Protein backbone atom coordinates (compact mmCIF):
# COMPACT_ATOMS: atom_id res chain seq x y z
CA UNK A 1 0.00 0.00 0.00
CA UNK A 2 1.18 3.53 -0.82
CA UNK A 3 0.58 6.09 1.93
CA UNK A 4 0.09 9.72 0.90
CA UNK A 5 0.76 12.16 3.74
CA UNK A 6 -0.17 15.73 2.93
CA UNK A 7 -2.44 18.42 4.35
CA UNK A 8 -3.74 19.61 0.99
CA UNK A 9 -7.08 18.12 -0.08
CA UNK A 10 -6.45 18.44 -3.82
CA UNK A 11 -2.97 16.95 -3.60
CA UNK A 12 -4.19 13.99 -1.57
CA UNK A 13 -7.15 13.12 -3.74
CA UNK A 14 -5.62 13.90 -7.13
CA UNK A 15 -2.54 11.83 -6.33
CA UNK A 16 -4.66 9.03 -4.89
CA UNK A 17 -6.76 8.93 -8.06
CA UNK A 18 -3.65 8.92 -10.27
CA UNK A 19 -1.97 6.07 -8.39
CA UNK A 20 -5.18 4.06 -8.05
CA UNK A 21 -5.68 4.30 -11.83
CA UNK A 22 -2.29 2.58 -12.18
CA UNK A 23 -3.35 -0.30 -9.94
CA UNK A 24 -1.80 0.82 -6.67
CA UNK A 25 -3.55 0.44 -3.32
CA UNK A 26 -3.51 3.89 -1.74
CA UNK A 27 -4.36 5.38 1.65
CA UNK A 28 -4.19 8.98 2.88
CA UNK A 29 -2.91 10.31 6.22
CA UNK A 30 -3.43 13.96 7.09
CA UNK A 31 -1.83 13.98 10.54
CA UNK A 32 1.34 12.63 12.14
CA UNK A 33 -0.80 10.34 14.32
CA UNK A 34 -2.51 8.87 11.25
CA UNK A 35 0.88 8.28 9.65
CA UNK A 36 2.29 6.28 12.55
CA UNK A 37 -0.97 4.34 12.91
CA UNK A 38 -0.61 3.18 9.32
CA UNK A 39 3.07 2.34 9.82
CA UNK A 40 2.21 0.06 12.74
CA UNK A 41 0.15 -2.08 10.36
CA UNK A 42 3.36 -2.99 8.48
CA UNK A 43 1.59 -2.79 5.12
CA UNK A 44 3.03 0.49 3.82
CA UNK A 45 5.29 0.00 0.79
CA UNK A 46 5.94 3.69 0.13
CA UNK A 47 5.36 7.00 1.90
CA UNK A 48 4.74 10.06 -0.27
CA UNK A 49 4.91 13.29 1.73
CA UNK A 50 5.38 17.03 1.53
CA UNK A 51 7.45 17.37 4.70
CA UNK A 52 7.26 21.18 4.54
CA UNK A 53 3.45 21.27 4.59
CA UNK A 54 2.76 18.13 6.60
CA UNK A 55 2.63 17.72 10.39
CA UNK A 56 6.44 17.68 10.73
CA UNK A 57 8.67 20.08 12.62
CA UNK A 58 11.90 19.28 10.79
CA UNK A 59 13.82 16.72 8.76
CA UNK A 60 14.53 14.88 12.02
CA UNK A 61 10.91 13.70 11.95
CA UNK A 62 11.67 11.89 8.70
CA UNK A 63 14.67 10.27 10.37
CA UNK A 64 12.32 8.99 13.07
CA UNK A 65 10.03 7.52 10.42
CA UNK A 66 12.96 5.74 8.80
CA UNK A 67 13.92 4.26 12.17
CA UNK A 68 10.36 3.00 12.68
CA UNK A 69 10.04 1.71 9.12
CA UNK A 70 13.58 1.22 7.74
CA UNK A 71 12.40 -0.82 4.76
CA UNK A 72 9.77 1.70 3.67
CA UNK A 73 11.05 4.26 1.14
CA UNK A 74 10.02 7.91 1.41
CA UNK A 75 9.25 10.05 -1.64
CA UNK A 76 9.26 13.79 -0.98
CA UNK A 77 6.67 15.51 -3.18
CA UNK A 78 6.73 19.23 -2.47
CA UNK A 79 5.69 22.53 -4.00
CA UNK A 80 9.15 24.08 -3.73
CA UNK A 81 12.58 23.19 -2.44
CA UNK A 82 16.08 24.64 -2.31
CA UNK A 83 19.62 23.26 -2.37
CA UNK A 84 20.05 23.27 1.39
CA UNK A 85 16.81 21.37 1.92
CA UNK A 86 17.80 18.80 -0.69
CA UNK A 87 21.15 18.29 1.04
CA UNK A 88 19.49 18.04 4.45
CA UNK A 89 17.11 15.41 3.12
CA UNK A 90 19.96 13.51 1.53
CA UNK A 91 21.86 13.56 4.84
CA UNK A 92 18.73 12.15 6.48
CA UNK A 93 18.76 9.24 4.05
CA UNK A 94 16.00 10.53 1.77
CA UNK A 95 16.91 9.63 -1.81
CA UNK A 96 13.67 10.38 -3.69
CA UNK A 97 12.50 13.95 -4.29
CA UNK A 98 10.02 15.38 -6.79
CA UNK A 99 8.02 18.58 -7.23
CA UNK A 100 4.26 18.96 -7.42
CA UNK A 101 4.80 20.78 -10.71
CA UNK A 102 6.27 17.64 -12.32
CA UNK A 103 4.13 16.11 -15.05
CA UNK A 104 2.23 12.81 -14.85
CA UNK A 105 4.98 10.66 -16.32
CA UNK A 106 7.66 12.15 -14.08
CA UNK A 107 5.52 11.51 -11.00
CA UNK A 108 4.89 7.91 -11.99
CA UNK A 109 8.60 7.40 -12.70
CA UNK A 110 9.39 8.78 -9.25
CA UNK A 111 6.91 6.42 -7.60
CA UNK A 112 8.20 3.43 -9.57
CA UNK A 113 11.83 4.22 -8.69
CA UNK A 114 11.00 4.59 -5.00
CA UNK A 115 9.09 1.30 -4.92
CA UNK A 116 12.10 -0.42 -6.48
CA UNK A 117 14.46 1.10 -3.92
CA UNK A 118 16.20 3.30 -6.48
CA UNK A 119 17.35 6.88 -5.89
CA UNK A 120 15.43 9.38 -8.02
CA UNK A 121 15.42 13.17 -8.27
CA UNK A 122 13.06 14.69 -10.83
CA UNK A 123 14.56 16.94 -13.50
CA UNK A 124 13.28 20.07 -11.77
CA UNK A 125 14.94 19.02 -8.51
CA UNK A 126 18.19 18.26 -10.31
CA UNK A 127 18.07 21.71 -11.93
CA UNK A 128 17.85 23.29 -8.47
CA UNK A 129 20.59 21.05 -7.06
CA UNK A 130 22.99 21.76 -9.91
CA UNK A 131 22.70 25.55 -9.87
CA UNK A 132 26.14 27.02 -9.21
CA UNK A 133 25.04 29.68 -6.77
CA UNK A 134 22.77 27.88 -4.35
CA UNK A 135 22.85 30.68 -1.80
CA UNK A 136 20.35 32.65 -3.85
CA UNK A 137 17.95 29.76 -4.28
CA UNK A 138 16.40 30.28 -0.86
CA UNK A 139 12.82 29.55 -1.84
CA UNK A 140 13.00 27.47 -4.98
CA UNK A 141 10.91 29.11 -7.71
CA UNK A 142 10.19 32.36 -5.84
CA UNK A 143 11.64 35.68 -7.00
CA UNK A 144 13.54 37.99 -4.64
CA UNK A 145 10.48 40.27 -4.37
CA UNK A 146 8.19 37.31 -3.65
CA UNK A 147 10.54 36.04 -0.93
CA UNK A 148 10.42 39.47 0.69
CA UNK A 149 6.61 39.43 0.62
CA UNK A 150 6.57 35.92 2.11
CA UNK A 151 8.65 37.20 5.02
CA UNK A 152 6.33 40.16 5.54
CA UNK A 153 3.15 38.07 5.41
CA UNK A 154 4.71 35.62 7.85
CA UNK A 155 5.65 38.47 10.18
CA UNK A 156 1.98 39.44 10.43
CA UNK A 157 1.70 42.40 8.05
CA UNK A 158 -1.57 42.84 6.15
CA UNK A 159 -1.68 43.25 2.37
CA UNK A 160 -2.34 46.98 2.83
CA UNK A 161 0.62 47.35 5.21
CA UNK A 162 2.93 45.47 2.83
CA UNK A 163 1.86 47.71 -0.05
CA UNK A 164 2.57 50.83 2.03
CA UNK A 165 5.94 49.52 3.23
CA UNK A 166 7.11 48.49 -0.25
CA UNK A 167 5.56 51.59 -1.88
CA UNK A 168 3.58 49.52 -4.37
CA UNK A 169 -0.14 49.18 -5.01
CA UNK A 170 -2.49 46.93 -3.07
CA UNK A 171 -3.29 45.15 -6.35
CA UNK A 172 0.41 44.43 -7.00
CA UNK A 173 0.79 42.81 -3.58
CA UNK A 174 -2.33 40.71 -4.20
CA UNK A 175 -0.90 39.57 -7.54
CA UNK A 176 2.38 38.60 -5.85
CA UNK A 177 0.42 36.77 -3.16
CA UNK A 178 -1.57 34.76 -5.72
CA UNK A 179 1.62 33.88 -7.62
CA UNK A 180 3.36 32.78 -4.41
CA UNK A 181 0.45 30.53 -3.43
CA UNK A 182 0.33 29.07 -6.94
CA UNK A 183 4.08 28.39 -7.11
CA UNK A 184 4.19 26.77 -3.68
CA UNK A 185 0.96 24.82 -4.18
CA UNK A 186 -0.60 26.23 -1.03
CA UNK A 187 -3.95 27.88 -0.30
CA UNK A 188 -3.70 29.65 3.06
CA UNK A 189 -1.53 32.02 5.09
CA UNK A 190 -0.85 29.42 7.84
CA UNK A 191 0.60 27.08 5.19
CA UNK A 192 2.71 29.96 3.91
CA UNK A 193 4.00 30.67 7.41
CA UNK A 194 4.88 27.01 7.89
CA UNK A 195 6.73 27.03 4.57
CA UNK A 196 8.61 30.20 5.53
CA UNK A 197 9.70 28.76 8.89
CA UNK A 198 10.79 25.38 7.52
CA UNK A 199 12.56 26.99 4.56
CA UNK A 200 14.57 29.18 6.89
CA UNK A 201 13.08 32.42 5.54
CA UNK A 202 11.99 33.40 9.05
CA UNK A 203 12.61 32.17 12.57
CA UNK A 204 9.75 30.84 14.70
CA UNK A 205 10.05 33.85 16.99
CA UNK A 206 9.52 36.24 14.07
CA UNK A 207 5.98 35.01 13.47
CA UNK A 208 3.20 36.82 15.30
CA UNK A 209 -0.48 35.78 15.13
Fold of 144-206: Arc Repressor Mutant, subunit A (1.10.10)
Q: Where are the domains of the chain?
A: 2-129, 144-206
2-129 shares its CATH topology with 144-206: no
- How many CB atoms within 10 Å of residue 173? 23
pLDDT digit string, tens, across residues 48-71: 998 776 767 677 788 888 888 888
Cα separation, 1 vs 160, whole angstroms? 47
pLDDT digit string, tens, across residues 80-120: 888 888 888 888 888 899 999 899 999 999 999 999 999 89
Mention the CATH class of domain 2-129: alpha beta
- Model confidence, pTM: 0.64
Cα separation, 26 vs 1, whole angstroms? 6
Cα separation, 142 vs 137, whole angstroms? 8
Amino acid sequence: MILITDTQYLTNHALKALLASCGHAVQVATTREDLFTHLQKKSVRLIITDYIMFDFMSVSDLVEIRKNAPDTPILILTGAINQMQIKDLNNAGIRNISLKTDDREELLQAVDAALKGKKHYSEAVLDILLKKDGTHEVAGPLTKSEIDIVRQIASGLTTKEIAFKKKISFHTVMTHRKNIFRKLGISSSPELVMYAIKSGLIENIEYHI
